[in-house]
Structure 1
Amino acid sequence: MNKQMLAAAVSAATYMAAIDAHATNGDQMIGVTATQWGMAGAVVAAPQDAGTIMSNPAGLAELGMKEVRFDMGFGLLNPPRKANGTESDSDYYLIPSGAVAFNVNDRLYLGMGMAGLSGMGVDFADIMAAAPGAQAVVTTKQFYKIAPGFGYKVNDKLSIGAALNIDYQSLAIHNTAFTLPQNQVYGFGATAGLIYKFNNRLQVGASWISKQSMDEFKWNTTAGRYAMTMDAPQQFAVGVAFKPMPGLLIEADVKHIGFSDVLGRVPFQTPGGPSAMNFGWDDQVVYAIGVQKEINSKTIVRAGFNYGKSPIGREDVNNNIGSLAVTEKHLSVGMTRKLSDKVSASLSYMHAFHNDITSNVAPRNKIELEQNIANVQVSYLF
C-alpha cells in the first residue's frame, strides 16, 4: 500500500518536475558562437567560423585558413519567465563555447568544438494557483557537448564532414513530492554534413545530428532509488546561401528537431514502481534567415530572424509547469571587427519575443517566457 501511495504521489507531481528548457528553439541553443547567433542560426550552407563543427562539420573545409583558426567566446542568457504569474528567482546563465580548426593539407581539415547546448533551470517559490502555499519547484539541467571531427574537400564544389559527439548532462529536481540531487551522466552521438557550391554566388548545405544516447540518471534517496533516461533529439537541417554581390551574404535554413522521440513520454522509475514524465513535446520545424554585409575591409554586420512553433501545446501545459520552452520568434543583430591581420572580435544580441501558453484543461495553468542573449567572440585566423 505504501508503494502504491508513493507511486500515485509521484505521478501527481511529475508535471511540476518538468525540466526547464528555455534555450530558444525548444531546449536547443540557436547558435554556438557570436557569429552564429548574429545570423539567427542560419549557418548550415555558409559557415563563418570553427563553430561549424557543432552544426555542419563540412564547413571546416570552407573557412579559408592557411593553417589554423580559433574561435573562443561566451554568452550571457537572461530569460525572464513566469508560471501562473510567479517569477523565477534565477535569471542569468553563462554559456561557454569554443572551437578550433586545423588545415592538414589542401583537402583535409580537422577540428574540435566544445559548448553548452541546452538546459539551465528554474527557481519558483510557489507556482500552483489552484493550491497556493509551499509549492516550490527548483530544477537545474545542463547539457554540454564536445565534438572532434573533420571536414574534407572532395573537389572545388563539394565538401563533406563528420564529428563524434561526446555528451555530458547533469540534472537536479526539487518539488513537493521528491528532491533529486544534482547528478550527471554521459552519452554519445554523431554529426555529419555536406556543402555543395553551384557557383560563386549560390551554395547549399545539409546536416544531420543523431539522437544523443545518454546513460541513465540514478538518484539514491531516503525513500529509495529513482531513475530516468533523457536523450537529446535528432536533428536534420538544410540551407541555401546566396551572394548577390561582393560582400553580401543571405542564407535561409530549415531545421527539423525530433523532440517527440525523446520528450514525448519519458519512463521514470520510482521507489513505488514505474511511472512516466508525460511532457508531450511535439517535433519542431525551425525557419531561420540571416543577412551578412561587409561594410568595409574591417567591419561586418549581421541580422537575422528565427521562428519555431513551441513544442509545448496547450494540452500539455500542465505537464510542463517547470519547462518553459515556449518562445517562438527571435530577432538577432551582430557584428565582427577585424583588429589585426589575424585577430578579430565579434558581438551579437538576440531577443526572443514574449510568448505565453495557457492550459486548455483544468487547472488552467499559464507559462510564459522571453529571452535576451548576448555573445562575445574572439577569433584567430592564420
Structure 2
Amino acid sequence: MKKTKLALALTSAVFASSAMATNGTNMIGIGAQSMAMGGTGVAAYFGAENLLANPALIGKSQGTELIFGGTIFAPDVSSEHNLGEPASPGEPVGKDSSDANLFVVPSAAFNSRINENMVYGIGMFGTSGMGVDYQDNGQMFRAQSALQILRFAPALAFHNETAGIGFSPIIQYGALDIHYDGSETQYGTFGLEDAGHGMAQGLGFGYSIGGYYDAAPGLTLAASYTSGIEMEYKGQLSSASQPFAEFGMIPEAFDDKLEQPAEMKVGASFDMGSLTFTADARKIMWSEAKGYKDFGWQDQDVFSIGAKYSTKSYWLAAGYNTGDNPIKEQDGTTTEGATINFFNNTFFPATTESHITVGGGMAISKKATIEGAFVYAPEVKTRVGVSGIGDDYPIAGAASGDYSETKHSQTAATMMIRYNFD
C-alpha cells in the first residue's frame, strides 16, 4: 500500500534530523579515533571502539582495554517557507531556527583476551538520533520531536596470524517523542490541534558480523554487515497520522514501526611505520527500512578516508566523510510531492553531505590516553518545490506556496579516555 500521501509527509515531521554529525540519521563514526579519521573503522584497528564497525577487529587487541567518553553535537538548522499569506510582501510565511541545538551522546566499551585466538568485548554506544524544536513558532507547527538510539553490543572474535572473524548480537534501546500543533496555521481546523502522545520506548534486536584479512605487511582488508533493527514506538506515528485517516487522506493510520537500516561496509587500512591510512565504503539501506522507505528515503553510499601520525606518546589524525542526502525531492507540483517535500525538508533535514574531521590523543600515564576529535559539516542549503501543496486539499482556501528552504550545518566534539590494563 502506497503511503506517500499528505498524512505521511506530516508524520515525517516528527523525525526532524539534526541531532548528530550524521550520514542520514546515523553517526559517521563511534569513538575518538574513528571520528578523527573520517568515520573509518572497518579495517583500521582502533581498539574497543571497533565493536560496532567491525567486531572482528577486537581480535587484534593485545590485552585488556576500557574506553569511555561521549560526543557533544551542535547542529545549526534554520528553515523558511511561503505557504500562506505573508505578513509583508516578499517575506516568508514561516521562518525559524531550531532550538534543538545541543546533544550529548555517550560511549563506553571493554574488551579482553580469552586466549591467543579469542577476544571478547562489550560496548554501549549512542548511534543515531534526531530532533527539532520549533515550539515557539506557530507557523512552524510548534513541532517538537526527539529520537534516541542506544546500542548494547557484546562481541566475540576469533583470529589467527593473518585473519579473523567476529560476531556481535545487538540490543537496541530507542525512545521517540512527537508533538506538533497546527492550530495557528490555515490547517488548524483539520484536526491538527495539539497532536502528541508522550514519549514511547522500545527494544529491538539485531546483529553485526565481520572479518578481516592481513593481505600484506601493513595492509588490512575487511568487510562487515549490520542487520536492520525493527522498532515499535507505540502511539507515535499512529497518533500523528490519525487526523488524516479520519479525513480520508489515507486509508488508515500508520503503524508505529520505525526500523534502523541495515548496513554493508568494506574497508582498507595501510600502516607505514608511524603513518596509517584508512578508507571505507558503506551502503546504508534506508529504502528497505520500515518507516524510512515510506518517507521516500533512498539507499545512501558513504565514503570516508583518514590519515594518522602516531608516536609512543601521542597521535594526530584527519579525515573526510561524504554521503549524498538520502531524501530525494518529489514532484512539488502535486499535492503528494509538495507536502512530502515541505515536511521532509523543514522537519527532517538529514541533508548534510560532507564532514571534515581532525583529532588527536596523548598519553597521560603508562596505561592511560586521553583522546579527542572534532567534526565540522559545512552548511548545506536545500530548496524544494511545494507549489502543489494546496491542490485538492479538503479545506476551503488552503494556501499554496512556491518553496521550502532549509539551511543545515553541524559541529561535533568527542572526548574519550582509553585505559589499558596490561
Provide TM-score, normalisation by structure 2: 0.79
Q: Secondary structure at the match of 2:289?
A: helix
Paired position in structure 2 for 1:169: 174
Paired position in structure 2 for 1:95: 105
Q: Of Structure 1 and Structure 2, which has the larger fraction of its residues in strand?
A: 1
Distance of 1:12 and 1:156 partners within structure 2: 53
Residue of structure 2 aligned with 1:82, choices 73, 78, 89: 78
Contact 1:317 1:357 in 2 (8 A): no
Distance of 1:206 and 1:74 partners within structure 2: 26
* Count of residues in Structure 1 that have an aligned counterpart in Structure 2: 355
More displaced 10-residue stretch of structure 1: 357-366 or 186-195: 357-366
**TM-aligned CA distance change 1:19 to 1:80, over 3 Å:** closer
Q: Secondary structure at the match of 2:116?
A: coil
Q: Secondary structure at the match of 2:35?
A: helix
Paired position in structure 2 for 1:345: 370
Instruction: Kindly indicate whether residue 263 of structure 2 is the aligned counterpart of residue 235 of structure 1.
Output: yes
Q: Secondary structure at the match of 1:365?
A: strand
- The amino acid of 2:289's aligned partner reads V
Partner deviation per Cα, 1:42-95 (whole Å, 9 max, x = no partner)? 1111121201111100011012x23x1001111100001112141001211001
Instruction: Kindly indicate whether residue 325 of structure 2 is the aligned counterpart of residue 310 of structure 1.
Output: yes
Instruction: Kindly indicate whether residue 219 of structure 2 is the aligned counterpart of residue 202 of structure 1.
Output: yes
- The amino acid of 2:285's aligned partner reads G
Instruction: Kindly indicate whether residue 31 of structure 2 is the aligned counterpart of residue 53 of structure 1.
Output: no
How far has the Cα of 1:143 moved from its partner?
0.6
Paired position in structure 2 for 1:257: 284
Distance of 1:73 and 1:265 partners within structure 2: 30
Contact 2:286 2:292 in 1 (8 A): no
- The amino acid of 1:78's aligned partner reads A
Distance of 2:173 and 2:99 partners within structure 1: 25
Q: Gaps (5+ residues) in structure 1?
A: 1-7, 267-277
Contact 2:18 2:75 in 1 (8 A): no
Contact 1:164 1:190 in 2 (8 A): yes
**TM-aligned CA distance change 1:9 to 1:352, over 3 Å:** closer
Contact 1:22 1:323 in 2 (8 A): no
Contact 2:15 2:147 in 1 (8 A): no
Residue of structure 1 aligned with 2:409, choices 358, 365, 370: 370
Q: Secondary structure at the match of 2:26?
A: coil
Paired position in structure 2 for 1:269: none
Paired position in structure 1 for 2:115: 105
Distance of 2:222 and 2:180 partners within structure 1: 44
- The amino acid of 1:30's aligned partner reads I
Q: Secondary structure at the match of 1:113?
A: strand
- The amino acid of 1:205's aligned partner reads A
Distance of 1:15 and 1:51 partners within structure 2: 32
Contact 1:218 1:226 in 2 (8 A): no
Partner deviation per Cα, 1:238-296 (whole Å, 9 max, x = no partner)? 001112x2111001110000011126666xxxxxxxxxxx42111100000000111x3
- The amino acid of 1:354's aligned partner reads E
Paired position in structure 2 for 1:246: 273
Distance of 2:75 and 2:58 partners within structure 1: 32
**TM-aligned CA distance change 1:17 to 1:343, over 3 Å:** closer
Paired position in structure 1 for 2:228: 211
Q: Gaps (5+ residues) in structure 2?
A: 81-94, 182-191, 244-252, 331-339, 388-400
Partner deviation per Cα, 1:210-250 (whole Å, 9 max, x = no partner)? 011223523597x899741001000001001112x211100
Distance of 1:289 and 1:357 partners within structure 2: 26
Partner deviation per Cα, 1:138-197 (whole Å, 9 max, x = no partner)? 1011011000111111x2111110100100111111112221211101100000001100
Contact 1:21 1:118 in 2 (8 A): no
Deviating beyond 4 angstroms after TM superposition, the runs of 4 or more aligned structure 1 residues are: 8-12, 223-227, 263-266
Report matched runs for 1:24-173 at 5 Å: 24-63=22-61, 65-66=62-63, 68-84=64-80, 85-125=95-135, 133=139, 135-153=141-159, 155-173=160-178
How far has the Cα of 1:356 moved from its partner?
1.8
Contact 1:40 1:303 in 2 (8 A): yes
Contact 1:314 1:357 in 2 (8 A): no
Query: Which is greater in Rg?
Result: 2
**TM-aligned CA distance change 1:82 to 1:136, over 3 Å:** same
Distance of 2:6 and 2:276 partners within structure 1: 55
Instruction: Kindly indicate whether residue 221 of structure 2 is the aligned counterpart of residue 182 of structure 1.
Output: no
Percent identity over paired residues: 28
Distance of 1:264 and 1:15 partners within structure 2: 9
Distance of 2:312 and 2:226 partners within structure 1: 35
Distance of 1:57 and 1:12 partners within structure 2: 37
**TM-aligned CA distance change 1:145 to 1:257, over 3 Å:** same
Instruction: Kindly indicate whether residue 350 of structure 2 is the aligned counterpart of residue 325 of structure 1.
Output: yes
Paired position in structure 1 for 2:398: none
Distance of 1:248 and 1:307 partners within structure 2: 23
- The amino acid of 2:232's aligned partner reads D
Distance of 1:99 and 1:328 partners within structure 2: 28
Distance of 2:359 and 2:130 partners within structure 1: 24
Distance of 1:246 and 1:56 partners within structure 2: 23
Distance of 1:265 and 1:300 partners within structure 2: 39
